[in-house]
């Protein structure tokens, strides 16, 4: 690793001059000196030390990303959005998985701070009553007061900047769409008990159902993954009563539902309409109807906020979700209406 001093020596100038040339400082440098420094840097393969720069400037061009599960496309898309936008400003993202565990989040948060991250993004929401939540909140609040930029992209019980898509509304509108198709027996599948963002989606679903004077059914709250959806629908089928329509807590769950239905001989949307929430890449190939949340864009907003040069960057509005109508939902048929059992 060639250092600035080596470059300076080779170019026959001082380190100060070399620094001015190599970091795009506004300070004026004559063009011939500039050239000799640059050639020297090139021949030596000079790479500036981000560590030294961070030490000097009390701030490193690092954005920390705390995700629940990078294997979940929801978080992968957020991470990608953050990374793309961060790179545009010369920032780099440190990715940390925390498995929705406040203790792990606390550890990762600390490590990220040790690396002088300019900002830290929490991608997922918290789980009500999870042990360690209060301590995490304390740490975060302390960091925020100390000037670290912290952004939450989902509901969180600490005092960070928040850029949050309205989960209640997204789910409400999706459910309304299902009802507008004529379905009455609409079931909500999936989630993790206490996981705030998903509870909000369940709430939006319930509101739409109540308004239509229907009884909500929320089942299969065993996780956010494809298997959860598969297991939940398998249970429903085992009980003998397929609903007319299913709203899933996220796209992964919806794909799991589709997988079960298709491998079991059911058809969508003929036998049952299925929709997800998220709009992640995984649902597209199945023609999944979903409430698309602009996740890449959302991540980008967080990154831009953190990378912003201004001392008090304005908090961006969360992007608006949008209904993507696919081929897994259709109008209720008379046959479905006839076999109504609950609701």
Partner DNA sequence: TTGTACGCGTTATCAG
Partner DNA sequence: CTGATAACGCGTACAA
Q: Of DNA, a second copy, none, which one sits near residue 134, judging by CB under 5 to 8 A according to partner kind?
A: none
User: Does 1 help bind DNA (rule: CB under 7 A)?
Assistant: yes
Taking the C-alpha atoms of residue 167 and residue 147, their distance in angstroms, rounded to an integer, is 29
Question: In the set 30, 263, 314, 334, which binds DNA (CB under 7 A)?
Answer: 30
Nearer to DNA, 114 or 317 (CB): 114
Question: In the set 9, 38, 44, 48, which binds DNA (CB under 7 A)?
Answer: 48
Site size for DNA (CB under 7 A): 32
Question: In the set 55, 71, 92, 337, which binds DNA (CB under 7 A)?
Answer: 55
Residue 114 CB, nearest distance to DNA (Å)?
8
> Which segments of the chain does DSSP mark as H helices, in order?
4-11, 15-22, 31-44, 50-57, 73-88, 102-114, 133-145, 167-180, 196-211, 226-238, 251-263, 281-284, 295-307, 334-338
Nearer to DNA, 113 or 162 (CB): 113
Nearer to a second copy, 186 or 255 (CB): 255
220-233 exposure pattern, b = at least 16 Cβ within 10 A, e = fewer: bbbbbbbebbbbbb
Q: Of a second copy, DNA, none, which one sits near residue 15, judging by CB under 5 to 8 A according to partner kind?
A: DNA
Choose the binding region for DNA from 3-11, 61-69, 305-313, 318-326 (rule: CB under 7 A).
Answer: 3-11
83-106 exposure pattern, b = at least 16 Cβ within 10 A, e = fewer: bebbeeeebebbbbbbebbbebbb
Site for DNA in 299-318 (CB under 7 A): none
Choose the binding region for DNA from 8-16, 79-87, 219-227, 250-258 (rule: CB under 7 A).
Answer: 8-16
Residue 312, Cβ neighbours under 10 Å: how many? 6
- Find out whether 316 and 163 touch, Cβ atoms under 8 Å: yes
Taking the C-alpha atoms of residue 17 and residue 29, their distance in angstroms, rounded to an integer, is 7
Q: Which residues bind a second copy (CB under 8 A)?
A: 1, 45, 47-52, 54-55, 58, 60, 62, 65, 70-71, 73, 76-77, 79-80, 83-84, 87, 90, 92-97, 108, 110-116, 142, 146, 225-227, 229-230, 255-256, 259, 262-263, 281-282, 284-287, 327
Report residue 323 CA to chain centroid gap. 18
> What is the gyration radius of the CA atoms in the chain, in angstroms?
25
Question: In the set 39, 42, 43, 49, which binds DNA (CB under 7 A)?
Answer: 49
Residue 30 CB, nearest distance to DNA (Å)?
3
Taking the C-alpha atoms of residue 7 and residue 316, their distance in angstroms, rounded to an integer, is 42
Question: In the set 57, 99, 241, 333, which binds DNA (CB under 7 A)?
Answer: 57
Taking the C-alpha atoms of residue 32 and residue 180, their distance in angstroms, rounded to an integer, is 72
Residue with tokens 């080596």: 6
Residue 48 CB, nearest distance to DNA (Å)?
4
User: Does 39 help bind DNA (rule: CB under 7 A)?
Assistant: no
User: Does 52 help bind DNA (rule: CB under 7 A)?
Assistant: yes
161 is written with which tokens? 């900047």
Choose the binding region for DNA from 20-28, 193-201, 270-278, 330-338 (rule: CB under 7 A).
Answer: 20-28
Residue 64 CB, nearest distance to DNA (Å)?
18
207-216 exposure pattern, b = at least 16 Cβ within 10 A, e = fewer: bbbeebebeb
Nearest to 286 by CA among 297, 274, 298, 295: 274
Choose the binding region for DNA from 41-49, 254-262, 321-329, 333-341 (rule: CB under 7 A).
Answer: 41-49
Burial label for 313, CB within 10 Å (0-12, 13-18, 19+), is middle
For DNA, the binding residues (CB under 7 A) are 1, 3-5, 12-17, 19-20, 22-23, 25, 27-30, 32-34, 46-49, 52-53, 55-58
């Amino acid at each position: 690793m060639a250092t600035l001093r080596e470059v300076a020596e080779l170019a026959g100038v001082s380190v100060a001059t070399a620094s001015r040339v190599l970091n795009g400082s506004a300070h004026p440098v004559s063009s011939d000196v500039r050239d000799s420094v640059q050639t020297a840097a090139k021949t030596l393969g000079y790479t500036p030390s981000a560590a030294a720069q961070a030490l000097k400037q009390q701030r490193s061009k690092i954005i920390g990303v705390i995700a629940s599960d990078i294997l979940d496309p929801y978080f992968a898309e957020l991470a990608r959005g953050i990374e793309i936008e961060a790179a545009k400003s010369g920032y780099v993202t440190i990715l940390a998985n925390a498995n929705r565990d406040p203790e792990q989040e606390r550890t990762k948060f600390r490590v990220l701070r040790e690396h002088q991250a300019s900002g830290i993004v929490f991608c997922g929401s918290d789980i009500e009553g999870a042990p360690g939540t209060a301590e995490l909140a304390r740490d975060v609040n302390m960091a925020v007061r100390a000037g670290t930029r912290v952004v939450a992209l989902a509901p969180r019980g600490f005092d960070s900047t928040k850029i949050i898509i309205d989960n209640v509304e997204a789910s409400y509108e999706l459910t309304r769409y299902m009802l507008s198709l004529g379905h009455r027996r609409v079931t909500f599948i999936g989630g993790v008990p206490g996981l705030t963002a998903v509870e909000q989606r369940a709430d939006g679903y319930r509101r739409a159902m109540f308004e239509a004077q229907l009884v909500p059914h929320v089942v299969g709250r065993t996780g956010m993954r494809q298997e959860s959806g598969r297991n939940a629908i398998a249970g429903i089928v085992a009980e003998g009563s397929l609903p007319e329509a299913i709203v899933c807590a996220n796209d992964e769950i919806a794909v799991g539902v589709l997988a079960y239905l298709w491998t079991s001989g059911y058809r969508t949307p003929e036998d049952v309409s299925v929709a997800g929430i998220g709009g992640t890449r995984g649902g597209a190939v199945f023609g999944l109807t979903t409430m698309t949340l602009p996740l890449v864009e959302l991540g980008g907003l967080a990154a831009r906020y953190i990378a912003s040069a201004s001392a008090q960057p304005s908090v961006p509005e969360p992007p608006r979700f949008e209904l993507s109508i696919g081929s897994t939902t259709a109008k209720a048929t008379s046959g479905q209406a006839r076999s109504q059992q609950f609701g």
